[in-house]
Chain A
């Protein structure tokens, strides 16, 4: 045996104690505090990528891509509201707060959504004139903190979204750290400048579905039954939560999966609470169907929507519309590689930057620093968002036509198959090449 040339065992990292985990243990040991960050879950999850469409063939026939119409519009709030909302595309902009985002970023979201014929949504912290002014259709969130809440803005809104929870942190409140509390943010929230602003996890004047029903009635009375009332929940027990939201009188239910982002919360919360949107849509739709309310109470789903394929898959599973947040920020310019040098100075890299709570965003989006915020041109950024929304819609149409559908809402679960057992079970569509759905018998 040649003892001098024995092959060496290569250093091997543990799959359990991988480098990221080891670094987190060391960081926790050094600081004594959990990691806080923005964004949504970063772990790999069963997702829309695990589904495929069955295009038309002999047994189905397709629509001509450049000739035959495939409609994309959606009505929201047709159950009780005197003035339901009509959007050109079923891709809406999710709620994100002024405070978490700069005023220019909120303006850009409004501009982009308006060009695309869709809605945008306020967030914790109230409605800003920039946002209302640039948003043709604006959804006003009604949150536990009630920062900036007032009846004038309720009446100025096109719909009201009662936020019970969000996918990134179902059961959790919010925290806007002191470094992002500018004079304007402090004034809008009626709190001293520079202190951490907590947003409660429960509403201050109602608990449970029976109270929610009365709260929704109050909001309708204040606005003379004109505005659609949405109820937003984080995806955890979608069947029961959607059923209770419907029972409480919601016009629209917004269901946010764990891929949905947040301005700031504990990493352990983001990564370990809630379920993927893929697993949530079918139980939600089942609840609506069991109550005879599918398509009467509209379902908006969110959490990890990136492409027109994701849009089409969400709709095929039974949603009426989707909402995008993270993807919209990326379209505005978030995590742009052009700022790579600055991301590195912050200890991150373009594409991975998530310390939105610190307010030092090089792209000028998740910040209240005037110099950084000035980097974002709301007109140009709004144009980019409009372009992106257009692509999402065109891509979804492309798939729908291939499946022979003259409206995106005609897509159905029967158009889908799954690539993995997990996705098959969660989405309730057969494993590709089989007629088998785990957990279901025929």
Chain B
């Protein structure tokens, strides 16, 4: 299985090699050493391979991912898995701001904490954060699921559309048009699916979560709501 040492190979060569792989490649497991927090690692992948990054990654790690599984054994910078379409990104450490921003699909799992704006403008992605998330997370979140085992910061789900938010811990405050909603059986089943996908067993109970979503009060602009913005 290929091992790419970024102390010897440039990031540009790494990404180019990964982009050049045919859909039926036998080189399905790649290891990246000495990542040293470089930006834009393993971006734009579109093959069903696994890329393990042993170390920290900078901004936009696994950006616009399709099909691939990218595992980071370290922390990641801003915008991990931004605009992901499919596949899976697993961060074993913490994530900086805008994790999973605008992502349309796939699964993003963060073992540690995620900073502000986690899931901003998300468009269908599933995000599971085993720690806590920062302020303004799920801002303008359109669809998909954000699961947080820890706490959420200020203004969770501000101006949210149809995304579903599940938080086990405390929520410091909810943003405009975001409200707590009933956790029905269908949501519990979906939440269980997401927890399973993130490798969490039954010791994490879906009953401990609360669900948040859109009040749909700001979907069409009305002057009487102007003070809400």
Contacts and interface: CB of A to CB of B under 8 A. Distances in A.
A196 B143 contact: no
B interface, size bucket: 35 or more
Nearest to A222: B44
B113 interface: no
Contacts of A191: 142, 161-162
Given A198-B140, A224-B19, A175 B39 contact: no
B79 A217 contact: no
B132 interface: no
Interface stretch (B22-30, B120-128, B167-175, B183-191): B120-128
Interface stretch (B47-55, B97-105, B195-203, B204-212): B97-105
A213 to B, nearest CB: 9
A400 to B, nearest CB: 41
Interface stretch (A47-55, A148-156, A287-295, A382-390): A148-156
Interface in A11-52: 31-33
A217 B40 contact: yes
A413 interface: no
A33 B221 CA distance: 10
Nearest to B19: A224
A152 B143 CA distance: 21
B142 A214 contact: no
A204 B121 contact: yes
Interface string A143-161: 0011001111010000000
A192 to B, nearest CB: 7
A311 to B, nearest CB: 36
B111 interface: no
A407 interface: no
B100 to A, nearest CB: 10
A52 B161 CA distance: 52
A200 B161 contact: no
Interface in B149-167: 159, 161-162
B60 A215 contact: yes
A68 interface: no
B101 A204 contact: yes
B220 A205 contact: no
A225 interface: yes
A178 interface: yes
Interface in A185-231: 190-192, 194-196, 198, 200, 204-206, 211, 214-215, 217-218, 221-225
A218 B39 contact: yes
A222 B117 CA distance: 23
Interface string A258-294: 0000000000000000000000000000000000000
Contacts of B98: 204-205
B120 A205 contact: yes
A190 B44 contact: no
B43 interface: yes
B197 to A, nearest CB: 21
A200 B117 CA distance: 14
A218 B85 contact: no
A225 B43 CA distance: 13
A204 B43 contact: no
Contacts of B134: none
A205 B102 contact: yes
A116 B13 CA distance: 38
Nearest to A146: B102
B12 A205 contact: no
B39 A150 contact: no
Contacts of A151: 44, 46, 64, 66, 83, 85
Interface in A129-188: 145-146, 149-152, 154, 175, 177-178
Nearest to B60: A218
Residue of A175, A222, A225 with most partner-chain B CB within 10 A: A222
B89 to A, nearest CB: 14
A145 B60 contact: no
23 contacts: A32-B223, A146-B102, A146-B121, A154-B64, A175-B221, A190-B123, A191-B162, A195-B220, A200-B121, A204-B102, A205-B60, A205-B101, A205-B117, A214-B59, A218-B59, A218-B60, A221-B12, A221-B15, A222-B44, A222-B63, A223-B44, A224-B16, A224-B19
Given A214-B40, A217-B40, 19 more contacts: A31-B223, A32-B223, A146-B121, A149-B83, A150-B104, A151-B44, A151-B64, A178-B220, A191-B161, A192-B162, A192-B219, A196-B220, A205-B101, A205-B117, A205-B120, A211-B78, A214-B78, A215-B60, A222-B15
> Shortest 10 CB-CB distances between A and B: which pairs?
A222-B44, A205-B79, A146-B102, A195-B219, A205-B98, A218-B40, A151-B64, A205-B101, A218-B60, A204-B120
